C-alpha cells in the first residue's frame, strides 16, 4: 500500500543554510556592521527562519533592537536571498533518489515549508526538481503556517493522499509539532545542525541518511 510523504524543505530536502546566512549578513553589511553570522556555526538558526537570523545578528552586534526593526529588515533579507537563492544550496545526498523511488511506487509526495511559497517555488525550479513534487505549500500559501497542522493537511490533500497513511519528514521542533497536531508520524533527519539532538523531540522515526529512507519508512508502515 502506498504512503504519502510530505517533506519540509530547508534542512530536510536541501541544505540552504549558506545562502540564507549570506542574505541575513547582507542586511548588516548594508549598514556597515559587517557579517555577524557564520554559515556553518549558525546553520540551525538559518533553518529557524529569516527573522531568527536577524535577531541573532542584532544581538551579536549589541544593538538594542525591537521586533519592529526585525520586521523592517525582513523584506531586505528576502530580496537579498531571492537574488542569490541557489548560489550554494544543494539537495542532501540521496534525497532525490529517495523521492524518485517513492514516485516509482506510486506514493504521493509534496513539500510543506515555512519558506515563502514564491521563494520555495523558485528554489525548487532552479534546482531542477520542482516537477517531482505534486504540491508545494509555503509559509504564506494559507492564512496559517507550521506548526499549525492546516498547511500539512492541505499538502496531503493536494497530492491526493490520505492523512491516515502519511508521514512528515522534517528537521526541527516545528515539524515535530506540526505532525503531532495533524495526527501523523514525524520522521526527523539527524544530518542537520542538531544531529542526533533531534531525538529529544521523540519523533516516531529518525533518518540518519536518505540511503536508509526506505527502511525507516517501512518501520512506520510495514506494509509499504
8 is catalytic: yes
By DSSP bridging, strand 166-170 and strand 186-189 are parallel
Evaluate whether 203 touches 194 at the Cβ level (below 8 Å): no
| Catalytic site residue from 8, 10, 15, 73 | 8
**Residue whose C-alpha cell is 533592537:** 65
Which residues belong to the active site? 8
Amino acid at each position: 500500500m502506498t504512503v504519502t510523504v510530505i517533506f519540509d524543505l530547508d534542512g530536510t530536502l536541501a541544505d540552504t543554510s549558506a545562502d540564507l546566512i549570506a542574505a541575513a549578513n547582507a542586511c548588516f553589511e548594508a549598514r556597515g556592521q559587517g557579517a555577524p553570522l557564520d554559515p556553518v556555526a549558525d546553520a540551525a538558526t538559518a533553518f529557524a527562519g529569516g527573522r531568527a537570523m536577524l535577531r541573532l545578528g542584532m544581538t551579536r552586534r549589541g544593538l538594542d533592537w525591537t521586533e519592529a526593526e526585525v520586521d523592517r529588515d525582513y523584506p531586505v533579507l528576502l530580496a537579498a536571498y531571492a537574488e542569490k537563492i541557489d548560489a550554494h544550496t544543494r539537495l542532501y545526498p540521496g534525497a532525490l533518489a529517495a523521492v524518485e523511488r517513492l514516485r516509482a511506487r506510486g506514493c504521493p509526495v509534496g513539500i510543506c515549508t515555512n519558506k515563502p511559497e514564491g521563494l520555495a517555488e523558485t528554489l525548487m525550479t532552479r534546482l531542477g526538481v520542482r516537477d517531482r513534487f505534486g504540491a508545494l505549500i509555503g509559509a504564506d500559501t494559507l492564512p496559517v503556517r507550521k506548526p499549525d497542522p492546516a498547511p500539512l493537511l492541505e499538502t496531503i490533500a493536494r497530492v491526493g493522499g490520505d492523512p491516515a497513511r502519511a508521514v512528515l519528514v522534517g528537521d526541527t521542533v516545528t515539524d515535530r509539532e506540526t505532525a503531532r497536531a495533524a495526527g501523523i508520524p514525524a520522521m526527523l533527519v539527524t544530518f542537520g545542525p542538531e544531529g542526533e539532538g533531534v531525538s529529544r523531540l521523540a519523533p516516531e522515526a529518525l533518518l540518519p541518511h536518505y540511503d536508509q529512507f526506505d527502511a525507516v519508512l517501512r518501520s512506520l508502515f510495514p506494509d509499504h
